[in-house]
Structure 1
Amino acid sequence: MSTADDGASSWRSDIALALLATLLALAVNAFAGFPELTNAGGDNDNLLRLVEIRDMLAGQGWFDLHQYRMGLEGGFVMHWSRLVDAPIAAIIIAASALTGSAALAENVAQVLWPALLFCLTVFFTARAARSFAG
């Protein structure tokens, strides 16, 4: 087998490993009843991130990072970037088009976004380990 074939098969095996690990993690969480979702969606930061995404989807500007419902009158400016909001909002938009429900779409995003991040983390960790250790 040539070096190109070895590289292609290692990519495939790393993708398979990442997908298998992600499916296993999802299965364990599903079996446990998604405890992070039933715990009011997680911690305060997760909930506030979801509020920011809801505001953006409701028409708040990309560069308007104010949270008008928090703090004193007029709210305050959040220090978070919208770059993290964009993929989550895209998942919510796509899922709401498929499910017809904004609430269900948010639940899909709350499961799918961490799963995608986990899958990418496992994949790139496997690639790095293969690169460094051979």
Structure 2
Amino acid sequence: MREFSVPERLGGFGALAAVGAAIWPTVTAGTGMALPCLLRTVTGVPCPACGLTTAAVALVHGRIGPAFLANPLIFGLAACTVASGVLVALRAAGVMAPPRPWSSAQRRRAGRAAGLLAVASWLFQMHRLQPDLF
């Protein structure tokens, strides 16, 4: 069994999130269960991932505007999911070589990019939700 690349793993996560988003409204309607943000519940401050469940459900149901307003990061995850699906299929067909391990410099760049995305998302959520901090 071959190792999957980071984008392929992220795409796999996105595919699972899409399935979950498709069935989540049925679960909440039947049980009344919800997934509150733990950080926001305890501190009143939203986390960078606040709104991702709402955004995923909206996107799966074709509501682009509400998905963007809840958390724009969902579009990056959706794009990675589609691209990684194609990538996995091409690799399985032998058209593309298996992934090579990332160098330490590539891992550092990816970590910095992920950190910048988290900060940007957190700032977006702080603006969107405007918590009363004082």
TM class by smaller structure: under 0.3
Q: Whose Rg is larger?
A: 1
TM-score by structure 1 length?
0.27
Highest RCO, 1 vs 2 (Cα 8 Å, sep ≥ 6): 2
TM-score by structure 2 length?
0.27
